[in-house]
Amino acid sequence: MRIKVWPVAISVLVGLPLWLFRAPVVLAHGGIEPGESLLTAWNSNPLPSLGLFLAAYLYVNGLNRWERPSHPVSRWQRVSFFAGLAVIFLALQSPIDPLATHQFSVHQAQHLLLRMIGPLLVLTGAPLTPMLRGLPLWALQGLVKPLVGSPLGRKIYDIITNPVLTTLVFLATLYLWQEPRLHDLAVRDEWVHAGMHATMLISGFLFWWLVVDPKPHRSRLHYGLRVLYLGLIVIPNTVLGAAITFNGGLIYEAYRDFPQPYGISPLVDQQLGGLFLWVVGDMMSILIAGLVMAMWYRKEQEQDQIDAASP
């Protein structure tokens, strides 16, 4: 099924001016003004939207250029890709972002969208070949191919996709930004908070790259190791979430600076955030580990059928 590029391009050209000049707006990570409706409390920073529009355009353009695909991208994979972009958009541009300034619990939900759900859905959409094919020829020939073909490029790829390193980076990013002084600084400072979001998103993509392997990408990990890989992150996630949930004092003082929109005390909000990090984060890992086991079983069944059919 061919996807038209023009609707995407038109949406970018028409939507961005409306996005930039609509009113009222909220300054990036500036919180929600007293009496302001959540319907208007959208993050006005256009950079995340520009990046997401670009990713969507490259994906659609690449699919249209790919006339005889060796490994077709199915409809559900396309839906997954755009659902992932939508999740990231909601995390960064919707009222979730300014509301996260007021509530620790919402902040944890935002991080879950950025670290786990968004990257997982995007990578399940098999974006590698479509997005590469969607690039301009000069970028593909002059930048991507020399980088991929160089020994340095392959070495860098091997390093950043090392399972031990990606797990450590994934967990270290979570723990680093939960450190009280750094977390408070991110809540109060726009640029530090942007760095928090960027590292969360990048570490999420690196982590899920080794779990999800739609063609032509093939993970370096056997299915059994992927289940173990997912199981390993449950323990430190549980420890951190429980430590926040059962702490009797307010850990993150920055949330005193902003009024609680729903009248929840900062301490109760902190406990809710700890539970969200702990319970929902662990459930996500366990659920995906179960899906990986199902994929492993199906793969083994297919291999058994091939072996039985061979002379």
188-198 mean pLDDT: 93
190-203 mean pLDDT: 94
- For residues 206 and 233, give the distance between their C-alpha atoms in angstroms, rounded to a whole number: 14
Judged by average pLDDT, the poorest of 185-199, 205-219, 229-243 is: 205-219
pLDDT at 40: 65
Mean pLDDT is highest, among 8-12, 15-19, 29-33, 194-198, for 194-198
- For residues 299 and 115, give the distance between their C-alpha atoms in angstroms, rounded to a whole number: 27
Helical axes 190-209 vs 180-188, angle rounded to 10°: 120
3-state secondary structure of 26: strand
pLDDT at 19: 36
pLDDT at 257: 83
Where exactly are the structural domains of the chain?
6-309
pLDDT at 92: 94
pLDDT in tens, 160-171: 888 889 999 999
Give the dihedral sign, CA 153/139/119/92: positive
The β-bridge partners of 43 are 26
Judged by average pLDDT, the poorest of 22-31, 47-56, 126-135, 148-157 is: 22-31
Q: Closest by alpha carbon to 129, among 226, 64, 49, 197?
A: 64
- Whether the CB-CB separation of 90 and 96 falls below 8 Å is answered with yes
pLDDT at 8: 43
pLDDT in tens, 234-289: 999 999 999 999 998 999 999 988 877 777 888 999 999 999 999 999 998 998 88
